[in-house]
Amino acid sequence: MHCRQRWVTQVDPSIVKSPWTEEEDKKIVVAQRKLGNRFAEIAKVLDGRPRPAVCQRWHSVLHGRAEKMLEAMSKEEMTQIADNLQLDEAEMNPSQDKKRWSAEEDQALQEAVSQVGTGNWGEIARRMPTRRSSIQCRRRFTNKLDPNVKNDEWTEEEDKKVVAAQSRLGNSWAKISRLMEGRSESALNGRWYSVLEPRAASILAELKPEDFLFLDEAPIPPKPVVHGTPGAYDRRHWTEQEDQILLEMVNKLGQKSWAEIAKQCPGRAPKQCRHRYLNKVDPKRNQEAWTDEEDKKVVAAQSKLGNRFAEIAKLLDGRTESVVSHRWHVNLQPRAERIMQTLTDKDFEFLLPSLAAQAGGVGIQDRRGWKPWTPEEDADLIRLVEEHGKHNWPHVSRNMQSNRLPKQCRDRYINKLDPAIRKDAWTDDEDKRIVAAQSKLGNRWAKISKYLDGRSETAIKSRWYQSLQPRADEMLRVLEKNEFSFLEGVDDSDKNSAAAKDRLKKKVPMPLQKKDDGMPGVPGVPISSASVSVVQPMGVG
């Protein structure tokens, strides 16, 4: 087993060790979307990349930006990649034929190619009388049956071209084969590893600048496609002339007629035109540094709209869909929870028109009632709570004249309208109680609020994050044992405590303590970090 692993991951001469290409990254993202984390299978469709390398590439680089990459791809591009990778799982399926190709199969394959062309291997595979996958069909035809395939001796000129192309493109044999007339992917692969790789350095040293001109003067031609099939649109870079035409057509037709605009941009799909304009050509796009205010808006909007970045971009002047998506995934997502804790009701007001449109003006149960509370609603809520009490929020919600959820009614009353709420300055005793309770209960603010008369859940939560959390360790060190007595009756076994459960979820190890270590005045109480759920005092309660 060790020998196999060493060979597959380190010694095998076919292993690619060059930098990852954008095309390989796209293949991994599309394949992972279809196959999940079956990296051994994904590695089969990436020439020269072993399973551990593919697995590491996904988890360390691509996982965090996969959604962004998928959103940036057109449907045609994704379909083409999936088809070329054979992601209908045919080849991965054990039921697929693995035996040698027969003469009858070769004839059927040639007939299917003559009818369909070489741009839709999925359709060709479906026409085969035996169970062959699309990638099996493609490889058999391009490497063996294509009448254009050359089987004669390799020339010195061809060897130079292979070495030059490999130095630029790596082991992308499918691309290189489109630059080498009559040479198949497998032939190029075999020629490289059996003959050229050992002397590639010496060949490269002898090459002149003109030996590389074929790579620049003749850009890689697209794969042959049948007209109208996925992938029939241009993948080349946009020219300045195309950008100018695109700008003129958008100024003339607006940003809703992308199909009409695409007709004036030969070879470009409507989605390509839209993406190019919004992300590169639009003169109104904002290229300034992101502000804290914009970051707050993105976090607030994403919490309500999810990853609908096209809609979120409309709420940010001059920011494009792809830029907003990138900002979220790369910068904001890791700290979104901390930013959310600093937001107030006012920070969500800019979302009201979008949320109202989303709800369609009707009382949809999970989308209704996003607008601010009115004085009339507050009066209605107070009246209903006086009549029905504070323990039947579904009943209160049903009797509200406006559409409000039970949780909205509860939160509004408990945190804003309850006459028992205190709004005076916090006392030292209250701060100590919050720190002590949080060390035992974790962030269960509803439960902690029961130990602080007149303080609401949101007020306690805000007090913790804005003032107490940074100095919680210091406060815990000076707390006396009797200052935990108000928590008597709360289960203090570490196994069942909320703080312990939080640690288990985060896989944070229990802090070690020596026999005599602990909080001054409280034997056996360990000192912990407030950034994790603080360890509860032992022996209290």
Query: Do 156-217 and 375-417 come out as alike in CATH topology?
Result: yes
Rounded CA separation 534/511 (Å): 10
Q: Where exactly are the structural domains of the chain? A: 2-145, 156-217, 292-359, 375-417, 421-541
% of the chain exceeding 70 in pLDDT: 77
Q: What is the DSSP letter of 140?
A: H
Residue 357 has pLDDT above 70, yes or no: no
Residue 154 has pLDDT above 80, yes or no: yes
Q: Which two structure tokens, joined as six digits, stand for 476? A: 């815990």
Spatial contact of 438 and 467, defined as CB atoms under 8 Å apart: no
- pTM metric for this prediction: 0.29
Residue 447 has pLDDT above 60, yes or no: yes
Rounded CA separation 189/461 (Å): 62
Mean pLDDT of 327-339: 83
| Higher per-residue confidence, 503 vs 371 | 371
Rounded CA separation 277/261 (Å): 11
Most confidently modeled range among 305-309, 378-382, 463-467, 515-519: 378-382
Residue 1 has pLDDT above 60, yes or no: no
Q: How distant, in Å, are the alpha carbons of 184, 194, 235, 312 from that of 181? A: 9, 20, 21, 48
Q: Which two structure tokens, joined as six digits, stand for 78? A: 């994704």
Report how far Cα 495 is from the mean position of its chain's Cα atoms. 34
Mean pLDDT of 145-164: 85
Q: Which residues pair with 519 in a beta bridge?
A: 522
What per-residue confidence (pLDDT) applies to 228?
A: 35
Mean pLDDT of 27-50: 81
Q: How many CB atoms lie within 10 A of CB 118?
A: 16
* Spatial CB neighbours of 265, under 8 Å, sequence gap ≥ 6: 242, 245, 246, 249, 273
From the list 134, 143, 200, the residue with the least C-alpha distance to 166 is: 200
pLDDT-derived band at 533 (thresholds 50, 70, 90) equals very low
* pLDDT per position as a tens digit, 391-428: 788 788 888 887 788 888 888 888 888 888 888 888 99
Rounded CA separation 62/56 (Å): 9
Residue 343 has pLDDT above 90, yes or no: no
pLDDT-derived band at 453 (thresholds 50, 70, 90) equals confident
Rounded CA separation 329/41 (Å): 27
What per-residue confidence (pLDDT) applies to 434?
A: 93
CATH topology of domain 375-417: Arc Repressor Mutant, subunit A (1.10.10)
Residue 352 has pLDDT above 70, yes or no: yes
What per-residue confidence (pLDDT) applies to 365?
A: 36
Which CATH number applies to 292-359? 1.10.10
Mean pLDDT of 435-450: 88
pLDDT-derived band at 122 (thresholds 50, 70, 90) equals confident
From the list 446, 451, 447, the residue with the least C-alpha distance to 432 is: 451
* pLDDT per position as a tens digit, 69-92: 888 887 777 777 776 665 544 444
* pLDDT per position as a tens digit, 270-292: 888 888 888 788 888 777 888 99
pLDDT-derived band at 491 (thresholds 50, 70, 90) equals low
User: Rounded to 5 degrees, what angle do the CA atoms 229, 233, 234 make?
Assistant: 150
Mean pLDDT of 25-53: 82
Residue with tokens 């007629």: 257
Residue 535 has pLDDT above 50, yes or no: no
3-state SS, residue 399: coil
Residue 334, class by beta-carbon neighbours within 10 Å (0-12 exposed, 13-18 middle, 19+ buried)? exposed
What per-residue confidence (pLDDT) applies to 4?
A: 59
Mean pLDDT of 147-167: 86
What per-residue confidence (pLDDT) applies to 421?
A: 85
Mean pLDDT of 344-349: 80
Residue with tokens 């815990």: 476
Which CATH number applies to 156-217? 1.10.10
Residue 209 has pLDDT above 60, yes or no: yes
